[in-house]
Structure 1
Amino acid sequence: MSGIYIHIPFCKQACNYCDFHFSTSMKKKDEMVLALIKEISLRKNEFELLDSARSDNQIETIYFGGGTPSRLQIADLRLQIDTIYNNYKVIEKPEITLEANPDDLSEDYLIELSKIGINRLSIGIQSFFEDDLKLMNRAHNSAEAKKCLEIATKYFDNISLDLIYGVPGMSDQKWKQNIETALSFGIPHISSYALTVEPKTALNKLIQTGKIAEPKDEVASAHFMILVKTLEANGFVHYELSNFGKPDYFSKNNSAYWLGKKYIGIGPSAHSYDGISRSWNVANNALYLKSIADNKLPNETEILSVTDRYNEYIMTGLRTIWGVSLDRIQNEFGQDYLDYLSKQAQKFLTDDLLFIENNILKPTKKGKFLTDGIASDLFYLNLEE
């Protein structure tokens, strides 16, 4: 077993681009924390029951995501960590990550986080420019973004920050300044995403009403190339499409997802994976709380077919430095899948978007920005099982 993900469904305010599950009301916070620790306890034997022959089902990572986990008090986080230790086998030095917003990270809060076992921070900076932050409706400002990093680096070595590119009005030079500012703090990990327009977001409405220009693919592509070039020149490894880390600072939690390890997702809207099936909790706080109060897990489960697992491996493999092993395709999925993959990949090999090295299929530098689209063309959609 790899890890536990805990979804904290609270935010100070709604970012314009966000379509994750959260509430801006903290009225049910205490009730939610108690429900989260109850779900942690209820699910303690899940993977052991599935794979009883194994005795090494240990927790390697604990990840507080959301939402905004830094909206919780230290006591709330400590209670959840203690509950995990009391109910699961945890390795000696697990990676314990907290997603946080700059405006929550006072020096006192950071000191207390370091005392309860949190050893990795993922900070939602997004941009160091005031106009970008206002466009995104972020809760923090540019000064808070820089101040929190000055303080956080005193108490934490393992820090990741998020940056968003392809923002309307963001020039190449401005994007370079964002990256250089991040580098100036000595941060060892950066996650960076293109601004995307999801259907039910405020950003989509603002674009439709003409208040904000629509993001342009060519701008995002140019920013991506700048990002890759700049970070690689500064010693970062581009180990996943949106993630860059110095050696020894890759996200163990996220790497486990991409490498197909098992994980339990706790909280409303959280997803779980056991190697055979995928399940997801209801994305509704009230229904989640009611189900947990009744000792019921509020989730749905999908048994993954061979084709589902093949397609997931193609998607995750192409996004990472580990690529797609053609040997694994043949051994795990069969010759028909390997033949299909070889046929579908040929045009991308010819166009220098993919290459094969040591029997591993990977995107070229030119193909990296197009990875998701390439993967969809390699999916096996019509195989009857």
Structure 2
Amino acid sequence: MSLSKGHSPSGRLGGASGIYIHIPFCKQACFYCDFHFSTSLKKKDELILALAKELALRKGELNNQTIETIYFGGGTPSLLTIDELQLLVDAVYKNYKVTENPEITLEANPDDLLSVRAQSRTIFEDYKAIGINRLSIGVQSFFEDDLKSMNRAHNAEEAKGCLEQATKHFDNITIDLIYGIPNMSLDKWNKNLDIAFSFGVNHLSSYALTVEPKTALDSFIKKGTYPPMDENLALQHFNHLVEKATEQGFVHYEVSNFGKPDYFSKHNTSYWHGKPYLGIGPSAHSFYGSQRSWNVSNNTKYIQAIQNETVPNTVENLSKKDQYNEYVMTGLRTIWGVSLEKIENEFGREFLQHLKASAEKYINKELLYVTSSDSTKENGTEKLTTTQKGKFLVDGIASELFMI
């Protein structure tokens, strides 16, 4: 780990970017989660102040780029009070040039949004008053047995009650759902989707349950107390999800993301388009095109470093191969695909030839295809994109196209 005062990548004047703020606290640990968080809130006050200070320390890194999106992720950002969130929003506006109407997203758990409040206003009205205009609600499932098996903090009724209230105040809402849960029938998964769509939300993020090393879920499967993952079941759920979402008017614009027109996540889309972004908080990542960095994944070390006016991050300079591989990975996951013209112009003919040669067998298997149709081309260029059959396998396919 290198402890730096921050870095200022050159050659990126103007333009637009985003800020991600990591809130590393949760009420309890979900069995499948490997993100950085703590279930102790003892250091919360210190950490909030450190986040605000890191925003100030790193204000020169984006070289005067306009901030278009602010994203509170975690962890569980909805554990923060309105005053704490206001402090962080104010710190962004104080230190950065922010567009007139930025997308400001807050990840939230249903139980936090339904907490008893002394004030006359709802939590949703308070959020809107400080500029939050998009909610990402971690539902995961509308069934009690699923939630208990994942050790979620909320129950099924709270999930539904939260959405009943949230949709009265927010138009821009996304909910998270998990599929591929062992022994979940297709009928049960279909009911999950029916309930989700019944609330009229305009965005859905859905992920297959995966086993990350050193998580509780990993331990349970190794001990035989939880059934192993079933890839065929996950594929069945995924295909049904795509079909149902399409029927409801959603655009499958990224492998795990479905949005109605005009409701795509601006923040996440900027990631996939390779725009620079600044990651604030312990474990948060930043990206500048030719350079990436990540903060230490330890709350105490993070707070101590920031208090000493040092950014506790590791910085990595990306080679041309790294940048090519990153573009291929993100591009294939989206409807915008991988521009063959961009590959040749930014990386060279050698990379284009490698991409075409590596992609050929997947094109023959109808997992990839090259298109220049009006719906997917950009500036008249050809794009390499995944077929519907290839979407579920996209990460593995992309890795086979990498330049090693």
* TM-score bucket (shorter structure): over 0.9
Q: Residues 153-192 of structure 1: matches in 2 within 5 Å?
A: 153-192=167-206
**2:58 counterpart of 1:43:** yes
| Residue of structure 2 equivalent to 1:247 | 261
Taking the aligned partners of 2:388 and 2:42, their CA distance within structure 1 comes to: 48
Aligned position for 1:370 = 393
The answer for the alignment partner of 1:83 in structure 2 is 91
| 2:2 aligned with 1:2 | no
Counterpart-to-counterpart distance in 2, 1:270 and 1:87: 19
Match of 1:139 in 2: 153
CA distance in 2 between partners of 1:351 and 1:333 (Å): 27
Shift of the alpha carbon at 1:168?
1.1
**Distance across 1 between alignment mates of 2:385 and 2:307:** 47
* TM-score for both structures, normalised by structure 2: 0.92
| Aligned-partner residue type, residue 26 of structure 2 | C
Residue 32 of structure 1, CA deviation = 0.4
- What letter matches 2:61 in structure 1? E
Q: Which one is further off, 111-120 or 246-255? A: 111-120
Gaps of 5+ in 1: 49-54
**Distance (whole Å) between structure 2 residues aligned to residue 47 and residue 376 of structure 1:** 30
Shift of 1:245: 0.1
State the one-letter code of the partner of 1:361: L
Pairwise mapping of residues 301-340 of structure 1 onto structure 2 (< 5 A)? 301-340=315-354
Partner SS state of residue 272, structure 1: strand
Measure the CA separation in 1 of the matches of 2:173 and 2:157: 18
Displacement of 1:132 in angstroms is: 0.4
Check if 1:31 corresponds to 2:46.
Answer: yes
1:109 to partner: Cα distance: 1.8
Q: Does 1:109 align with 2:117?
A: no
Q: Does 1:11 align with 2:26?
A: yes
Structure-2 separation of matches of 1:29 and 1:244: 34
* Moved >3 Å (runs of 4+): none
Distance 1:347 1:169 in 2: 34
Determine the C-alpha separation between the residues in 2 that align with 1:83 and 1:19.
Answer: 29
> CA RMSD for the aligned pairs?
0.7
Helix, strand or coil for the counterpart of 1:2? strand
**TM-score, length-scaled by structure 1:** 0.96
Name the counterpart of 1:64: 72
Give the secondary-structure state (helix, strand or coil) at the position aligned to 2:38: coil
CA distance in 2, matches of 1:67, 1:15: 10
Q: Secondary structure of 2:50's match? A: helix
**Aligned mates of 1:125, 1:169 — CA distance in 2:** 19
Matched, 1:237 2:216: no
CA distance in 2, matches of 1:164, 1:2: 29
Specify the code of the residue in structure 2 equivalent to 1:69: P
Aligned partners of 1:315, 1:117: CA distance in 2, in Å?
A: 33
- Residue aligning to 1:51: none
In structure 2, what residue type is equivalent to 1:233? E
What is the aligned length? 374
Aligned-pair CA distance for 1:108: 2.4
**Residue 118 (structure 1) shift:** 0.4
Task: Give deviations 1:163-213, integer Å, cap 9, x for gaps.
Answer: 000001100010011011000000000000000000110001111111110
Give the drift of 1:349: 0.5
Distance 1:343 1:276 in 2: 26
Counterpart among 206, 216, 221 of residue 235 in structure 2:
221
Q: Distance in 1 between matches of 2:184 and 2:260?
A: 26
SS of alignment partner, residue 248 of structure 1: coil
1:196 aligns to what SS in structure 2? Answer: coil
